Amino acid sequence: MNRIDVHAHLLPGLDDGCRTMEESMACARLLVEAGYSHIFCTPHIWPNLPENRPAEIAQRTVELQVALNMEGIELKVFPGGEINLRPDTMRTDPDDLVSYGMNGHYCLIDLWAQTLPDFFEPAVRWMQSLGLTVVLAHPERMRAIQDEPDEADRIGGMGVLLQGNLHCLVDPPGSMTRRRAEEFLRQGKYFMLGSDLHHLENLPPRMAGLRRAIELVGEDEVDRLTMENPAKLLGIK
Ligand SMILES: [Fe+2]
């Protein structure tokens, strides 16, 4: 097994990610060249995208796999989703909660807030009560954590794992996203790193972020964050 991407908007036409199957294929080729063998497709779960539910995402992932196989691209794709945490998240039917591999073990959430909202902890606790390990996407991009990096530890104390975005490691030097991403990477705070790919045109800098991660913390640590830990999402805790 090579690297596993844990955050990718690779399914065509489901959200603001890849627009066509051709774009998905081109991104897939580039990921394979960069050393990836497995990808979790994590479309946005937003109220304005009501069709992004477990069965639909799983079906679209199968269709993508068929297309990859027909093109001879050696990539295995798995369903997932990026759940935007909202005040009403706790009213979601548990059967509609997307998880990595739709296997009910780990789920990916995102949140955009200046400060951590009051619903954050109850929503996380509710997901955990359903047996899910919650992974927070790109904390380095959240204003609440940029301003108060100790919040990352408080969130970690709740049992939430952190997923860093590769792109942030090649953001302009001195930018808040890059500073926090480098800091968290060096401090070993990430559980895994993902590309968060959306489009072909900005996939190359995301792969440059992978090389930058290796420069910063070495191959072994990057293997832990892009192979060893992501393998746990495949079903075995
Ligand atoms: Fe994303």
Distance (Å) from CA 70 to ligand 1 centroid? 27
Distance 111 CA to ligand 1 centre (A): 11
CA of 26 relative to ligand 1 center, distance in Å: 19
Helix axes 203-217, 21-33, angle to 10 degrees: 20
Q: Say which CATH number the domain at 9 has.
A: 3.20.20.140
Please tell me the predicted confidence (pLDDT) of residue 31: 98
Q: Tell me, what's the pLDDT at 237?
A: 46
Residue 98 sits in which domain range? 3-232
3-state secondary structure 176-203: HHHHHHHHHHHCCCCCEEECCECCHHHH
Per-residue confidence (pLDDT) for residue 1, from 0 to 100? 62
Distance 214 CA to ligand 1 centre (A): 22
Q: Into how many domains does the chain fold?
A: 1
Q: What is the pLDDT of residue 235?
A: 74
Confidence (pTM): 0.96
In sequence order, the β-bridge partners of residue 135 are: 108, 161
Per-residue model confidence as pLDDT tens for the chain (237 residues): 699 999 999 999 999 999 999 999 999 999 999 999 999 999 999 999 999 999 999 999 999 999 999 999 999 999 999 999 999 999 999 999 999 999 999 999 999 988 999 999 999 999 999 999 999 999 999 999 999 999 999 999 999 999 999 999 999 999 999 999 999 999 999 999 999 999 999 999 999 999 999 999 999 999 999 999 999 998 754
Residue type, 47: P
**Ligand 1 center to residue 218 CA distance, Å?**
25
Query: How far, rounded to the nearest angstrom, does the alpha carbon of residue 163 sit from its chain's CA centroid?
Result: 6
DSSP state, residue 94: G
H helical segments located in the chain: 21-33, 54-71, 120-129, 143-147, 150-157, 176-186, 203-217, 219-223, 229-232
Q: How far apart are CA 113 and CA 111, in angstroms?
A: 6
Q: 229 CA distance to ligand 1 centroid (A)? A: 19
148 CA distance to ligand 1 middle (Å) = 22
Cα–Cα dist 102/98, whole Å: 6
Q: Is residue 101 part of a domain?
A: yes
Query: So what's the pLDDT on residue 64?
Result: 98
Report pLDDT for 231: 96
Asked if residue 70 belongs to a domain, the reply is yes
Q: Which residues contact 40 (CB under 8 A, 6 or more apart)?
A: 4, 5, 6, 7, 8, 77, 78, 79, 80, 100, 101, 230, 233
Q: Is residue 76, in this structure, part of any structural domain at all?
A: yes
Based on the number of CB atoms within 10 Å of its own CB, is 116 exposed (0-12), middle (13-18) or buried (19 or more)?
middle
Note whether residue 221 is domain-resident: yes
Would you say residue 237 lies in a domain?
no
Domain assignment of residue 191, yes or no: yes
